[in-house]
Structure 1
Amino acid sequence: MQNCDELKNKFQALGINIQDKNSLQKLEYVKILPILCELYEQDKLTLDTIYLDLNINKDRFLRDFAVFKGFEFQALKEYNPYFLSKLSLKQMKECQCLVFQEDENFIYLAFAKIPSNELLDKLQASFKHKFIKIFLANPSKIENFIEKYSLECEINDLIAELKIELTHSDKKDKSAVAKLFELICLQAIKLRASDIHFEPSSEEALIRFRIDGLLGVFLRVELEIYHALILYIKLLAHLNIAETRKAQDGSFVMEFEGLEYDFRLSSLPLLYAESLVLRILKRKQKFLSLENLEFEAKSLQLFCQSIQLPFGMILVTGPTGSGKSTTLYAAMSEIQNENKKIISVEDPVEYRLSLVQQILLNPKAGLDFNNALRAILRQDPDVIMIGEMRDEQSLDIAVKSALTGHLVFSTLHTNDAVSAISRMLDMKAKPYLLASALTLIIAQRLVRKLCKHCKEKVSIEFEGVKEEFFEARGCEYCRQSGFVGREVVAEFLFIDTNLAEMIRENKSKNELLAYARKQGFKTMFELGLAKVRLGVTSLQELLRVLR
């Protein structure tokens, strides 16, 4: 509960203890509405407290607050830049209001707060031929609309400037294309995007951001602007700008708001032009500790014990983008110290770790996975991290390394933990060697987390039983997606003596799974369902990821 002594005192006068959940659930909304309105108007109570602590829908309260103060409420469902342009950006930001509609006689204004008469007179002077009509709206939604409109204006100004530059060769300190690209990157970082996709078609080009694993359109540009952007980005990455028929890879570093970011670039020739994808990686990334990865408590304890072993092989499996690297980096961060030599083989090196000797592969120079692995073993390492086991040879070296006194971390692309054993056997791993080398297999996925500001409890029939789950609704905080951030769902298959013997005897996947379940093994779906019941994610999101 937000620290508001006045709220506590006023509620206690009504016989309501706001520290008591049962008391909160029995609140008579009509009875407490005047108190909430008074404190909200005085900025002593926030909308977040009203929703998160008192479980009162924000729009419902704002609608009632508006009526209580003699105004109408506006939900502001549609963003319309035409109406927003009726006021200058400076006016919108200063007055925290915007135009959302107009007719023959009126201009309709939505305010974040109750406006003063002086402010209304000032705004009326801006519309000499029409009267202004006042509404109240959600302050966060007004702020988001103004921010979105401001960004659109800035982008349009830069595109117009760039068009002039393309026809005139006047040199400036910083070109419009550089400013436009930096603006795109800054917005991607603010929105927590992991990738920026530049995709051409016959008539226009899309710039899309991948946020929490899903792609969404950020901007549409003309092909003339797109080609200028692509040329500039390729120059930044030191690629051959004359080569447009072959795929190329590159990288560059940029700084935003005092932080450095690595951008990994991949270009691909398409029918109309080149497509580019930029992966965004923050330098000096603070990795989540294993305790903060939200693993099941018992599995986490055994995992921490496993990474302290002097030898063995620990695998993390899952599709691309399932957080495998994050788990491995968190594990290495946990065990790195001056008494251990840790060497990693990666392509590419995603993040830099202190006290870890990181090898960036260069196949053109003859430094591929297998050559690097052989060289590593002559460097007397304690721990080896292999970015990915790609073929029989790299798997064979990894298994033998685990058997000769090294702790080996690696990744594999399989759907679940038990399938990883079958995959390695298919890759010609000898069952008796694999049984002795394997310590732990983790299979994981990332699910989007429900926005705590707008998630709603619903009754859903699941497997013949009605249960109460939470589902996504969408609000200004999550940009109407219903989700903010992601969380890992992971199953842990620990290789004990009996399971190792079953691998040695080449038992089937079903037999391995049946034994593991008897020992308490839980599948990703079961663990994900527990997170659904806790309100971390939705059932629909879990089924989307694990379908």
Structure 2
Amino acid sequence: MAEDLPSIEDLLTRKTGAVTPTSDESVSGKAQAALSAKVAAVSVQGREDEARSAAAASGVQYVDLKGFPISPDALSQISDVQAQELQVICFLYTGPQLRIAAVNPMDQKVKDLLFQLEERNKAKGAIYQISPESFAEGFKLYSALPKIRKVVKGVQIKQEELAQYQSQMNSFDDIAKILAGANITDILAIVIAAALKMRSSDIHIEAAETKIEVRLRVDGILQEVAAIEADKWKKMISRIKLIAGLKMNISDRPQDGRFTIFQEGKKIDVRTSTMPNAWGESVVMRILNPDSVQLGFEKLGFRPAMLGKLLKEIDKPHGMVITTGPTGSGKTTTLYAILARLNKPGVNIITLEDPVEFKLDGINQSQIDSSKDYTFAKGLRSILRQDPDIVMVGEIRDLETAETAIQAALTGHLLISTIHTNDAAGAIPRFVSMGVKPFLLAPAINAIMGQRLARKLCEQCKVPLAPTEDQLVKINELLSSIPESSGEPKVDLANLSFFGPGKCDECNNTGYKGRLGLYEILLKDQAIEQFILSGEISEFAVRKVAQEQGMITMAQDGLLKALEGQTSLEEIQRTTGGLS
């Protein structure tokens, strides 16, 4: 039977009792090796011909990578793991042009990879057909790739690009005009450049029925920047997901990611969140600029008397210092300012955060992960076994965390944290409503601080502004009730002057530039401690006792700053509601 006949390779390598290789009766070793190589070459060539035919059938180009000069820059565009998985090699990269070669060029994963590479490099690319042998030849080059060279991930937004765009941006109108004429691959870089130029804390990009809305949160207020054509949404959201490390094929549920950009030697993290909406998805990118937390107390807006009281409390070796306020009221900035002041070589400071937003030198920062059952409460118990002097807990959310924090404060640790209440007086009833026992809470607390962020008036265009009669009544009531024990000088109620916002190029015609804090500090003294121990606790009663002991409220603090021309009555009402 024909199928029983031995192959040429078998005849060349088989040894039997009838035939024994000798110099006279067999092919010489060299001839055998040469013939084997020739047969192998014919076999390889056959597979190359098959690959060439497959390329023609698929409508792609063919390439043989054997001996092809592939640069390290090209090879490192794809990781060795991904190259092996998809049997694909990037064999050409010049910046504006790139080429990849795959054993299965019609594989959708290979096509998706090409799109990602094009988006990442702002390059035009193409897929070529190769044979398995050709792929193997190309893959060998990974072993020669320097281990220190990292495979590039994400979209590259260069500092030069940011600077170039920012040089053209002097107003929101400028940003809108630049975006209107921008290529889809440049839009994301332009939006980020605009956010940095305008000192924005958040970027909002939202799919709508007929457009893509772009807004920036500047000084706490969302500003409309531009409307982009709706047909650009698919590529725009793909680019955002690519840069933030999100899954490209998920659009029906929320995702969280982050990426990093560099500007003027600073590393700026951008935390990215997506969620589905009626017309596609909504994207919010929070810009975690390290400059926003590298502030001394003198730049946060504390008045001298109040600052002196706070510094006295954080210099104590144990107890709890709590900040309160809604999201976006500056609590994290205040906590980091406290940590920066306390951070000394002889002190062990450990933080527990969700997430770690800014890296602080000399401080051990730990991020909770509820998916792994690493909660604030469990993390705090672990921290207390690490011999800390000072502990910062990002937020006290439940009884377990509260009790552990109080135990830490009562056993020789200074603990600083936040709790979500509207003001300082509300924190004590909040602890009690969680289930904390008053006899433990009373000795643990050192100070509770309430805060808001108000916009600062633009110094270039602010204008004198007289309050209304109703406002004046409330202003006189608040200023006249500032206790003498607060340390604040007495206000001349007969000579009150205030300012309001104007319009100029310096502030983009908003009338405001920058923000400052409005604060109140409730200090625990004997009267407050006895009040907590009484068990008859209400927010109103706590505030009354605290004011009798010398606390000025956030609204009063705001009025004192408004009298100095730092902010407006409108901002005090918006942030504290104290003038109504």
Q: What residue is the counterpart of 1:156 in the other structure?
A: 180
**Offset, 1:373:** 1.1
Distance 1:222 1:145 in 2: 21
Which of residues 463, 474, 491 in structure 1 aligns to 2:472?
463
Partner of 1:233, secondary structure, is helix
Which of residues 510, 516, 527 in structure 1 aligns to 2:557?
527
Q: Is residue 172–residue 508 contact of structure 2 (8 Å, CA) maintained in 1?
A: no
Distance 1:286 1:319 in 2: 18
Cα separation, partners in 2 of 1:203 and 1:262, compared to 1, 3 Å? same
Which of residues 199, 205, 209 in structure 2 aligns to 1:192?
199
- 1:301 equivalent to 2:311? Answer no
- 1:505 equivalent to 2:534? Answer yes
Which of residues 244, 250, 255 in structure 1 aligns to 2:257?
250
- 1:475 equivalent to 2:504? Answer yes
- 1:516 equivalent to 2:540? Answer no
Partner of 1:459, secondary structure, is coil
Partner of 1:417, secondary structure, is coil
AA aligned to 1:158 is A
Cα separation, partners in 2 of 1:158 and 1:341, compared to 1, 3 Å? same
Distance 1:189 1:357 in 2: 29
Mapping for residues 314-353 of structure 1, pairs under 5 Å: 314-353=321-360
Cα separation, partners in 2 of 1:429 and 1:180, compared to 1, 3 Å? same
Q: Is residue 249–residue 266 contact of structure 1 (8 Å, CA) maintained in 2?
A: yes
Cα separation, partners in 2 of 1:463 and 1:152, compared to 1, 3 Å? closer
Distance 1:419 1:145 in 2: 44
Q: What residue is the counterpart of 1:355 in the other structure?
A: 362
Cα separation, partners in 2 of 1:189 and 1:503, compared to 1, 3 Å? same
- 1:390 equivalent to 2:397? Answer yes
Distance 1:196 1:384 in 2: 32
Q: Is residue 259–residue 270 contact of structure 2 (8 Å, CA) maintained in 1?
A: yes
Cα separation, partners in 2 of 1:283 and 1:297, compared to 1, 3 Å? closer
Q: Is residue 171–residue 508 contact of structure 2 (8 Å, CA) maintained in 1?
A: no
1:457-515 CA distances to partner (integer Å, 9 max, x unpaired)? 12223334784311111111111101000000000000012211211112333333222
Distance 1:236 1:541 in 2: 37
Distance 1:271 1:434 in 2: 47
Structure with larger Rg:
2
Q: What residue is the counterpart of 1:411 in the other structure?
A: 418
Q: What residue is the counterpart of 2:60 in the other structure?
A: none
AA aligned to 1:378 is R
Larger mean Cα displacement after TM superposition, 384-393 or 455-464: 455-464
Distance 1:145 1:287 in 2: 26
Distance 2:518 2:391 in 1: 25
- 1:204 equivalent to 2:211? Answer yes
**TM norm structure 2:** 0.64
**Offset, 1:441:** 0.2
AA aligned to 1:479 is N
Q: Is residue 285–residue 351 contact of structure 1 (8 Å, CA) maintained in 2?
A: no
Identical aligned pairs, as a percentage? Answer: 37
AA aligned to 1:237 is A
**Offset, 1:246:** 1.3
Q: What residue is the counterpart of 1:264 in the other structure?
A: 271
Distance 1:204 1:285 in 2: 32
Partner of 2:543, secondary structure, is helix
**Offset, 1:534:** 1.1
Distance 2:171 2:530 in 1: 61
**Offset, 1:368:** 2.0
Q: Is residue 284–residue 352 contact of structure 1 (8 Å, CA) maintained in 2?
A: no
**Offset, 1:144:** 9.1
Distance 2:516 2:369 in 1: 33
Distance 2:173 2:217 in 1: 22
Distance 1:414 1:149 in 2: 38
Cα separation, partners in 2 of 1:211 and 1:498, compared to 1, 3 Å? same
Structure 2: segments with no counterpart, 5+ residues: 1-166, 477-493
Q: Is residue 312–residue 406 contact of structure 1 (8 Å, CA) maintained in 2?
A: yes
- 1:488 equivalent to 2:517? Answer yes
Cα separation, partners in 2 of 1:299 and 1:389, compared to 1, 3 Å? same
**TM norm structure 1:** 0.68
Q: What residue is the counterpart of 2:448 in the other structure?
A: 441
Which of residues 352, 369, 378 in structure 1 aligns to 2:376?
369
**Offset, 1:363:** 1.9
AA aligned to 2:451 is Q
Q: Is residue 186–residue 256 contact of structure 1 (8 Å, CA) maintained in 2?
A: no
**Offset, 1:155:** 2.7
The count of residues paired between Structure 1 and Structure 2 equals 388
Cα separation, partners in 2 of 1:265 and 1:149, compared to 1, 3 Å? closer
Q: Is residue 254–residue 275 contact of structure 2 (8 Å, CA) maintained in 1?
A: yes
